[in-house]
Structure 1
C-alpha cells in the first residue's frame, strides 16, 4: 500500500468504445485453433467493469456476448450469459480491486475469468453433451498474464497531463 496513487484524467467514452471494438476484432482473428488464446472481449469487459463500472455495464457485456455468439456459431446466449455474469462480478469488486498492485489485481480477476469459462462449459455440456479438452481453462491463465499489459495500455491515455508542467509533481 506504499505505492502512490495518481490522479487520472477522465476516460473518454470514445476510447472505451475503441478498446472494446479492438478487443472484439482481436477475437475475430482466425487463431481459434491455437491453444491458450485468451478471450480479449472478456478481458476488456473485466478491465472496464473494474475501472469504469458506470460506463461499461451489464448491457454492454450482454450485447458483446451476443455478437461473440453469432461469430463463434455457438448456442445463442452462451457468451452473453458468461459475459453478463463476468461484468456483474467485476462491478461488484471494482472498489476493492483498484487499490491493489497489478499482480494482486490479476489474482482477483483470475476467478472471474475461470467462472466465465465454467459457465460456457456448463452451457455447452447441457446443450450438446460435449466436454472440452484439458487445456480449456488455459485461456484464463493467459488472460491473467496479460492483465498488467492490458492495465498499462488501457490506462495510458488517462495518465497524461492536459498541460504538462515540469514544476508540478502530478
Structure 2
C-alpha cells in the first residue's frame, strides 16, 4: 500500500474517441485471425468502462460492436451483444477494480474478456454449428498480459501537471 495515488485530470472526450478509433484501426489490421491477437476494441472498452463509466457506456459499446460486426462480416449483433455485456460488467465492477494494483486489475479483467469470447463462440456455434477451437480463448490471456501497458498508455495524458512548474521535476 506504499504506492503513490495520483489525482488524475479528467479524461478528454476527444482522447477517449481517439483511443477507440485507434483500437478499431488495430482490429482492422490483417492480423485479426492469428491465434493470440487480442480484441483491442474490447480491451479499450473495458478500460474506459472501468475508468470513465459515465463517458463510455453501453450505447457506445453497442455501436462499436456493430462496427466490428460489419468489419468481420459476422452475424449482425454478435460483437454488439458481447461488447454490451462486457461494458455492463465493467461498469458494474469499476469501483472495486480501481482499488487494486495493475496486475490484480488484469486478473479481474480477464474473466470479463473471457466471457466476451465465450459469448461470441456460443453465437458462432448456434449459427454455423462449428466451434472455433480452444486456442481462440488465448486472445483473452494475451489481452490480460497487455492490460498494464494499455493502462499506462491511456492514463498518461491524465497524469500531466495542471500548472506548468519549471521547478518541479515531473
Q: Into which bin does the TM-score normalised by the smaller protein fall?
A: over 0.9
Q: Which residue of 1 aligns with 2:130?
A: 130
Could you tell me how far apart the structure 2 residues matched to 1:124 and 1:152 are? 34
Compute the displacement of 1:32 (Å): 2.4
Could you tell me how far apart the structure 2 residues matched to 1:12 and 1:157 are? 9
Q: Which residue of 1 aligns with 2:83?
A: 83
Could you tell me how far apart the structure 1 residues matched to 2:33 and 2:13 are? 33
Could you tell me how far apart the structure 2 residues matched to 1:2 and 1:49 are? 26
TM-score (norm. length: structure 2): 0.96
Compute the displacement of 1:163 (Å): 1.6
Could you tell me how far apart the structure 2 residues matched to 1:133 and 1:56 are? 32
The 3-state SS of whatever aligns with 1:137 is helix
Q: Which residue of 2 aligns with 1:45?
A: 45
User: Which deviations, in whole Å up to 9, do the C-alpha atoms of 1:7-56 show, x marking residues without a partner?
Assistant: 01111000000000000000000112321100000000000000000000
Is 1:67 matched with 2:35?
A: no
User: Which deviations, in whole Å up to 9, do the C-alpha atoms of 1:83-134 show, x marking residues without a partner?
Assistant: 0000000000100111110000000000000000000011111111110122
Could you tell me how far apart the structure 2 residues matched to 1:117 and 1:34 are? 15
Q: Which residue of 2 aligns with 1:115?
A: 115
> Structure 1 unaligned runs (5+)?
none
Structure 1 residues 44, 122: CA separation in 2 closer, same or farther (over 3 Å shift)? same
Superposition map of 1:7-46 within 5 A: 7-46=7-46
TM-score (norm. length: structure 1): 0.96
- More displaced 10-residue stretch of structure 1: 2-11 or 107-116: 2-11
> Structure 2 unaligned runs (5+)?
none
Q: Which residue of 2 aligns with 1:160?
A: 160
RMSD of aligned alpha carbons:
1.4
Normalized per residue, which structure has more helix? 2
